[in-house]
Structure 1
């Protein structure tokens, strides 16, 4: 059976979505938290295989200037099949018309996204809720004056 694609949250099982992120592995994201962030995203991409949620992604967008792709996750059983690439491609197509499309990636996945046309930014900066953990996990670089 082919992958069934959806953008709708109407029948999404939020517990199943939470389990997908944990298995991907992209961390422990509660169903309530996921409902908030997916509901507030302009674009969503949900992939189902025989009724089972196997891949997702979302993009925050303002409708003109900036779209931001994040939270792309694929179950381990479907990784390496092209599903992640298709999710990104669908979100990029949905985001067309924005002046820029940004993407937030797990460290180590940059070459995957580079093959899809994304380029490293020299001016991107972030403030994380837990700066120390973000530094340890490689999301941000150590700056002069940061505690060791």
Structure 2
């Protein structure tokens, strides 16, 4: 399998990227939103096989303090061969020098990231656009006050 890596987004097919996230499955991400997110990300890696987008990932970073790795996705036909690991490793390497590199995992996938050197945080907090759905999906723990977050 011959893979081509790129960080260029000038000629990226945003619909293909949205389709990748849908089938990975990482949710329904609109092409316009992905264009905004990837444009504003300091680091990004796109992986192609014969001009077909098979993997992607990005990191929001400030260049000094914090790099946040997110949106790592691999086509189901290319999962299980180490491609997701390679994307994360490249994003971690690009983020070296930041005081902290963070991410949050899809519930149930935490062990994958622990094998790559990530440790669980005890104080991470989040506000989701849909708090109830994030709670139902396992991204949030019920709060002490019973507020859901």
**Smaller-chain TM-score bracket:** over 0.9
1:9 aligns with 2:6: no
Q: 1:147 to 1:97 in 2, by over 3 A?
A: closer
Q: Provide structure 2 residue ranges, at least 5 long, that are not aligned to the other structure.
A: none
Match of 1:110 in 2: 110
Q: With the length of structure 2 as denominator, give the TM-score of the two structures.
A: 0.97
Determine helix, strand or coil for the equivalent of 2:27.
coil
Q: Provide structure 1 residue ranges, at least 5 long, that are not aligned to the other structure.
A: none
Deviation readout 1:60-81 (Å, 9 max, x if unpaired): 0000000000000000000001
Deviation at 1:142, TM superposition (A): 0.1
User: Using the alignment, how far apart are the partners of 2:54 and 2:147 within structure 1?
Assistant: 40
User: Using the alignment, how far apart are the partners of 2:105 and 2:127 within structure 1?
Assistant: 15
Q: With the length of structure 1 as denominator, give the TM-score of the two structures.
A: 0.97
Deviation readout 1:27-83 (Å, 9 max, x if unpaired): 111100100101010000100011100000000000000000000000000000100
Match of 1:144 in 2: 144
Match of 1:128 in 2: 128
1:92 aligns with 2:92: yes
Deviation at 1:147, TM superposition (A): 5.1
RMSD: 1.0
Determine helix, strand or coil for the equivalent of 1:54.
strand
Determine helix, strand or coil for the equivalent of 1:127.
coil
User: Using the alignment, how far apart are the partners of 1:135 and 1:21 within structure 2?
Assistant: 21
The alignment covers a number of residue pairs equal to 148
Deviation at 1:146, TM superposition (A): 1.9
